[in-house]
Structure 1
Amino acid sequence: MYDKFGDIRPYRDRTRLKRSLKTVVGGGHIRSEKDTLGEIEVPDDAYYGPQTVRAINNFRVSRQKLPPSFIRAQAAIKLASARANLEAGKLEPKIAKAIISAVLEVRKGKFEEQFVLDVFQSGAGTSQNMNANEVIANRALEMMGYERGRYDIIHPNDHVNMSQSSNDTTHTAIHIAAVEMMNAELMPALVDMLMVFSEKAAEFMDIVKPGRTHLQDAVPVTLGQEFSGYARMLELGIKRLEISVEGLCELNMGGTAVGTGLNIPENFSNIAIREVRALTGQDFVLAGNPFEATQAAEAILGASSSLRSIAVSLIKIANDLRLLSSGPRTGIGEINLPTVQPGSSIMPGKVNPVMAEMLNMTCFQIIGNDSAIMMATQGGQFELNVFTPLLAYDLLNSIEILTGATTSFTERCLRGITVNRDRCEELSKQSLALVTILATKIGYEEAANIAHIAHVGGKTIIETVKEMRIMDEKDAEELLDPLKMTGVKQ
């Protein structure tokens, strides 16, 4: 199998490969393979190869792996590259056909268990890229009737990775995966949430309640006006996210190691982009500057920042809903959140705002992910940002959990929110801030005195005004109508 210098000899037939297999503990088998560092043993049932095994041994950190969306994106790059290399005459048709067939299986999720590497791995995702190259090479070999490991026929680097570098493919895979997830999953979830907030705003528009600033009574608003603010916050967040997706649509196809495009055939990048667009259905374009695309990660940071912005808005909204529904007997109690599960293991009958709590925790994690992405983005040096595995994991994790959280919250909480109308009306009449409307009639200081008298006496503003005979009862009732103060009632 090896010559006297320890260099690998190509397998000439299946018999020689079979003789290289060894029985290991538990009855399994291993095969001997070799990379540029020498010989290493690979599980015989594995589609990955020697470089993946070395990375498995080196990076035993978290047991967290890059998600299937990233693997699918890697597959898209490998397919597009194979077709571009085939069209350029660099890749033999039978090898290209086998690679493309193997890639399509990977794209469908067939070999997810073969992508085994820890997120915290070699910089620039070199190990992750080789994991993909080896899996695709070995599956392509099977399709051609060869045993796994016959790299003299199809080589992970020379064929599957042709015209590519980890330095351009890992960046590109992040962009592809993020755009696919955002457009297919996250955007629809956010738009659905926006629509429900808008529906609730219309439904609740005539329900007057006290406004609150500094957690103290303020002039009246309607619950619908409050919810319209939530809807607008989310709408603006979606617009910012859409802008960030445009940045992610720039792909570094063909930049190779540092952006110069070394070792790619003529027109490779244009063909590869065409193939990625056809495969994904997304409007990807070539990066405007491959040097920027290799050394920076600003589009990834921008997308994460947009997700963080939405997370911050949702935290505010979730906190408001928890407070507005607090009680049911001793809190604000203006709204009711759906009862979805028991709330306490010791207090019978207790129900908690669990969906809002879940939304909060999800958004906290997204903010944490964004901080890590910011650190990884600024950590790039010279011609390459090497922290792409972390960028990939945190960005795609943020997209995934925000999608799940908003979908669950919309369906299990937001749609089912109801109002305690009597409670809202009661609290709106009790608010001392109703006196604000009097300031234009009797002056600020006199209005403040009326508020003080009402508070000390435990009476409403309208009761106090009537008792003090500041104006006749009809005028007082008309002027101090809480709903009229909101502008909803004319």
Structure 2
Amino acid sequence: MQPITERIEHDLLGDLAVPAVAYYGVHTVRAIENFPISGTQVSAYPELIRALADIKEAASDANFKLGLLDEKRAQAIAAACQEIRHGKLHDQFVVDVIQGGAGTSTNMNANEVIANRAIELEGFTKGDYSWLHPNEHVNMSQSTNDVYPTALRLAGYRGIYSLIDAMEMLRKSFAGKAAEFADVLKMGRTQLQDAVPMTLGQEFSTYAVMLGEDIERLREASLLICEINLGATAIGTGINAHPDYAALVCRRLAEISTIPVVTSPNLVEATQDCGSFVQVSGVLKRIAVKLSKICNDLRLLSSGPRAGFGEINLPARQAGSSIMPGKVNPVIPEVVNQIAFEVIGNDVTISFAAEAGQLQLNAFEPIIAHSLFKSVKHLRAGCLVLAELCIDGITANREMLRRNVESSIGLVTALNPYIGYDNATRIAQEALLNNESVYDLVLAKGLLSEAQLKEILKPEVLTQPRPPVVFAA
């Protein structure tokens, strides 16, 4: 006897074969056929699957407490959800993350997997929905239109805090380098021209501060996506849900997910408004812009090694050329630059998708989800890689940095309080015209002694507000 490889399931459009071993069902198979778009399945985002399991368990518990679902079915649904939340059956979430239908395919994929696992746990055969049905029981009191956006918020919240952890690691790497380089004098630059002296530590401390600021902006944005529309059902009116369902399911979801979710005060508004996703994406874009600027600086400061700035040395990660022997490229900053470009593009996508919503629903939340999750995932990876494979191993070319300060025309600004504006101007002109060192010219003209110059050029004198050094007569 040949083993059974398929089962037949039925939906609005008729009968369809489903693999016998599959936990998903007919709606998922339709989605697989309809949306061969990105090749990225929902399973690529485990936090989204976990969020769906959280929601379905909370819903089954609320429906049981309201007397709408019997205890045996509620317990079976909860058991299946708990398995999925702990990583099982994620390979059964096979629909493409980019899909039409406002996320219905993802919601039905979850309903079917949970239903069939619950059925199996009770000793029945997958696909036998006579005892427990994906729509009637797993999806009770719900609609895709409140399940899917709530799942995006839960997954987004967890993603934000995983990104914050990575950003904090990168911030600490920059802060560590700021301390290590606190005594390394160098020339600051504006518009790529010599400006005034600073320390390399000050330069790296700014990067730590920039990341710290954005961590706080992310924390603020995370509060926006804690407001959910679960209980709204189709358009926010709560049709087919018990009057007490929304409050009860929210409390239970907060317990299961450990995320401080609250029910939106206006579910009709919450069901159609994607503004919170736009806000979060805007913060992610801000982070991307700053990270890219930092990486631009790192590439510029390490350029050379002989014919560029050559102020710092990035760790050598790989051979840089198939034709130029010995060449090493700044590959880690380069990859983070590219992540930033992607995140900026994702923000444009999210903005257009949010704007394109019509009337009581936004049908384009799947592309919002895909874009948002990619941004979070890739930024997190970029921060970790940048910290571990680049920042922690940076070294400074200390002597060259100091020579640059001593020879820079910009040094005259620091010497101006000691030699006067007119003398400083003449020294700057002569140094530039004859390609001479400001330091050497000041010595040669007897304007300051070597001891005085060394005192003036101390980092603590040059790099912070303080009265001019007073020399003994």
Percent identity of the aligned residues?
A: 46
**Which of 129, 142, 150 in structure 1 is aligned with 2:128?**
150
**Which of 69, 91, 101 in structure 2 is aligned with 1:123?**
101
Map residues 17-166 of structure 1 onto 2, 5 A cutoff: 29-66=5-42, 67-166=45-144
Residues 1:465 and 1:155: Cα distance change in structure 2 (over 3 Å): same
State the match for 1:250 in structure 2: 227
Please tell me whether residue 412 in structure 1 is matched to residue 389 in structure 2: yes
The alignment partner of 1:432 has SS state of coil
- Structure 2 distance, partners of 1:33, 1:265, is 30
> One-letter code of the match for 1:417?
I
Please tell me whether residue 452 in structure 1 is matched to residue 445 in structure 2: no
Please tell me whether residue 211 in structure 1 is matched to residue 211 in structure 2: no
Q: Contact 2:98 / 2:370 at 8 angstroms: preserved in 1?
A: no
- Structure 1 distance, partners of 2:323, 2:349, is 38
Residues 1:368 and 1:464: Cα distance change in structure 2 (over 3 Å): same
Please tell me whether residue 399 in structure 1 is matched to residue 376 in structure 2: yes
- Structure 1 distance, partners of 2:253, 2:391, is 38
State the match for 2:145 in structure 1: 167
What are the superposed Cα offsets for residues 373-408 of structure 1, whole Å, 9 maximum, x if unpaired? 111111111111111111111111111111111112
Please tell me whether residue 306 in structure 1 is matched to residue 283 in structure 2: yes
> One-letter code of the match for 1:94?
K
Residues 1:146 and 1:482: Cα distance change in structure 2 (over 3 Å): closer
TM-score by length of 1: 0.90
Q: Contact 2:187 / 2:194 at 8 angstroms: preserved in 1?
A: yes
Gapped runs of 5+ residues in structure 2?
Answer: none
CA drift of 1:43 comes to 1.6
What are the superposed Cα offsets for residues 189-248 of structure 1, whole Å, 9 maximum, x if unpaired? 111111221121122111100111111111111001111111111111111111000101
The alignment partner of 1:352 has SS state of coil
- Structure 2 distance, partners of 1:480, 1:135, is 70
> One-letter code of the match for 2:317?
V
CA drift of 1:166 comes to 0.5
CA drift of 1:439 comes to 4.6
> One-letter code of the match for 2:13?
L
CA drift of 1:487 comes to 2.2
Residues 1:476 and 1:50: Cα distance change in structure 2 (over 3 Å): closer
Q: Contact 2:221 / 2:283 at 8 angstroms: preserved in 1?
A: yes
- Structure 1 distance, partners of 2:442, 2:98, is 69
State the match for 1:241 in structure 2: 218
Deviates more, 1:307-316 or 1:345-354: 345-354
Residues 1:179 and 1:426: Cα distance change in structure 2 (over 3 Å): same
State the match for 1:260 in structure 2: 237
Q: Contact 1:220 / 1:483 at 8 angstroms: preserved in 2?
A: no
> One-letter code of the match for 1:60?
P
- Structure 2 distance, partners of 1:51, 1:474, is 83
Residues 1:125 and 1:94: Cα distance change in structure 2 (over 3 Å): same
> One-letter code of the match for 1:340?
R
CA drift of 1:437 comes to 3.2
Please tell me whether residue 221 in structure 1 is matched to residue 195 in structure 2: no
The alignment partner of 2:103 has SS state of helix
Deviates more, 1:312-321 or 1:470-479: 470-479
Q: Contact 2:199 / 2:459 at 8 angstroms: preserved in 1?
A: no
State the match for 1:194 in structure 2: 171
CA drift of 1:463 comes to 2.1
> One-letter code of the match for 2:18?
V
Aligned length: 465
> One-letter code of the match for 1:88?
L
The alignment partner of 2:102 has SS state of helix
- Structure 1 distance, partners of 2:238, 2:426, is 77
**Which of 340, 345, 356 in structure 2 is aligned with 1:379?**
356
TM-score by length of 2: 0.93
CA drift of 1:343 comes to 2.1
Deviates more, 1:438-447 or 1:190-199: 438-447
Q: Contact 1:222 / 1:483 at 8 angstroms: preserved in 2?
A: no
- Structure 2 distance, partners of 1:193, 1:482, is 26
- Structure 1 distance, partners of 2:455, 2:171, is 35
Q: Contact 2:167 / 2:383 at 8 angstroms: preserved in 1?
A: yes
CA drift of 1:344 comes to 2.2
Q: Contact 1:167 / 1:256 at 8 angstroms: preserved in 2?
A: yes
Q: Contact 1:200 / 1:224 at 8 angstroms: preserved in 2?
A: yes
- Structure 2 distance, partners of 1:75, 1:335, is 49
- Structure 2 distance, partners of 1:482, 1:215, is 21
